[in-house]
Amino acid sequence: MKGDGKKYAFIVTINWGYMFALNCTMNAAKYFGTNADFHILYKFPEMSADIENYMKESKEAFPFDVHWHPMEEGTDYFNAKYKHCEKIKEDYDAVCILDGDLFLCCNVNDLFAQAHSQESYKLITASHLHSGIAPKDFHWGMERCVKDRCHCAFADFPTFIQPKKESGFMVDWFAFTQDHKNTEQSHPLIAMNRSIAKHYDIDDVMVLDGRNWVNDLNYWTHAYMLHGSNMLKHDDGMVHAIHNRWWQHGRAGTEIRNNRKSEHLKQAISNFNIIKSYMEFFNALTPALRITNYVTGKFKA
């Protein structure tokens, strides 16, 4: 898709169980005006008429191109994205790596443009708040020291890069998911942080605040609320992306059962409902593509 004369793309992997979130993200991209194509790498155990119809209709329903690619043998739902980046790097000026369950709900044209220009940064990604490690304390230049999640300062989504110039980072991101196969070190989050440690220093990375770009911790303590024209905010500011699966069958119920004695349970349930309702608005924006495979109704204690 062309916006400022450049071509940008999202790269995401998906199975049908996660399609609600991706459909919301694509509709939000249309709503907020993000000028980027979607490259969707899929693996559906069983193809159906509904899936085939969605894939067909999606190619005409949005003001950007939607490309569907079956996942290659030897890749998985995580690392197929990084390998695909190499395939399309000559076709795009900047790309963004997404997770299928990350709901991106803002315009990111400026981040694509910054990633392409590299005037200030070579890489743009979010902070990984679960580790508690600040970027200044990261193992810069010592990728061998990044062995588990506790050493990860950065989330592996959303990640914006200029694919022609940063091919080495992406190639190693994929390679690091292979060299310690089926161990903690091969996890895509650790692999990504290992590749950052190898290729960049602190001045190369623009860090998006995980409190606003991931939102997978503060739903227990912060009050989420609608703001302006179909935007969302909480105590730490505007919400730009939400990494959650409350809309998946069983997910919210399990969290509620496991935390019945928490003093924050009432706030969390309120946020579950607000987030899901917010996503439902975007899910329905293109009626012909509305996904029905999610939990409907209100979550209750």
Domain containing residue 46: CATH number: 3.90.550.10
Q: What angle do CA 122, 156, 273 make, to 5 degrees?
A: 130
DSSP state of 13: E
Q: Do 113 and 255 meet the contact criterion of CB atoms below 8 Å apart?
A: no
Q: Is residue 283 part of a domain?
A: yes
- For 127-144, how does the pLDDT look when each residue is reduced to its tens digit (9 = 90+)? 999 999 999 999 999 999
| CA 45 to mean position of chain CA atoms | 22
Residue 203 and residue 162 share a domain: yes
- For 172-184, how does the pLDDT look when each residue is reduced to its tens digit (9 = 90+)? 999 999 998 889 8
Per-residue pLDDT at 2 exceeds 60 = no
- For 66-100, how does the pLDDT look when each residue is reduced to its tens digit (9 = 90+)? 999 999 999 999 999 999 999 999 999 999 999 99
CB atoms within 10 A of CB 188: 21
- For 142-195, how does the pLDDT look when each residue is reduced to its tens digit (9 = 90+)? 999 999 999 999 999 999 999 999 999 999 999 999 998 889 899 999 999 999
- pLDDT recorded at residue 3: 59
Residues paired with residue 11 on neighbouring β-strands, in sequence order: 39, 97
Residue 267 and residue 202 share a domain: no
Residue 226 and residue 79 share a domain: no
- pLDDT recorded at residue 196: 98
Residue 132 and residue 270 share a domain: no
- pLDDT recorded at residue 47: 87
Per-residue pLDDT at 111 exceeds 80 = yes
Report the run of H or E that residue 58 belongs to, with start and end: helix 49-61
- pLDDT recorded at residue 89: 98
Residues paired with residue 178 on neighbouring β-strands, in sequence order: none
Number of residues assigned to the chain: 301
Read off the pTM: 0.96
Out of 142, 174, 209, a domain closes at 209
Q: Is residue 71 part of a domain?
A: yes
Locate tokens 């003001």: which residue? 63
- pLDDT recorded at residue 1: 47
Residue 147 and residue 27 share a domain: yes
| CA 10 to mean position of chain CA atoms | 9
Task: Kindly report the average pLDDT of the chain as a whole number.
Answer: 95
Residue 182 and residue 123 share a domain: yes
Phi-psi region of 154 (alpha: psi -120 to 50; beta: other; left: phi over 0): beta
Going 82 to 131 to 122 to 100, the CA torsion angle's sign is positive
111, two tokens: 């981040």
Report the run of H or E that residue 162 belongs to, with start and end: none
Q: Is residue 298 part of a domain?
A: no
- pLDDT recorded at residue 68: 98
Could you list the residue range(s) of the whole structural domain that residue 91 is in? 8-209
Q: Is residue 295 part of a domain?
A: no
Domain count, the chain: 2
- pLDDT recorded at residue 4: 77
How far from each other are the two terminal CA atoms of the chain, in whole angstroms? 44
| CA 295 to mean position of chain CA atoms | 21
| CA 116 to mean position of chain CA atoms | 19
Q: Do 170 and 188 meet the contact criterion of CB atoms below 8 Å apart?
A: no
- For 20-53, how does the pLDDT look when each residue is reduced to its tens digit (9 = 90+)? 999 999 999 999 999 999 999 999 888 899 999 9
Q: Report whether the peptide linkage leading into residue 45 is cis, meaning its omega lies within 30 degrees of zero.
A: no
Out of 153, 179, 209, a domain closes at 209
R_g (Cα) of the chain, nearest Å? 19
5, two tokens: 């004369």
Q: Is residue 300 part of a domain?
A: no
Out of 169, 194, 209, a domain closes at 209
Q: Is residue 296 part of a domain?
A: no
Q: Is residue 294 part of a domain?
A: no
Once rounded to an integer, what is the mean pLDDT over residues 276-294? 97
Residue 80 and residue 203 share a domain: yes
Q: Do 92 and 146 meet the contact criterion of CB atoms below 8 Å apart?
A: no
- pLDDT recorded at residue 46: 83
HSE-CB at 19 with a 13 A cutoff on CA atoms is 17
Q: Is residue 117 part of a domain?
A: yes
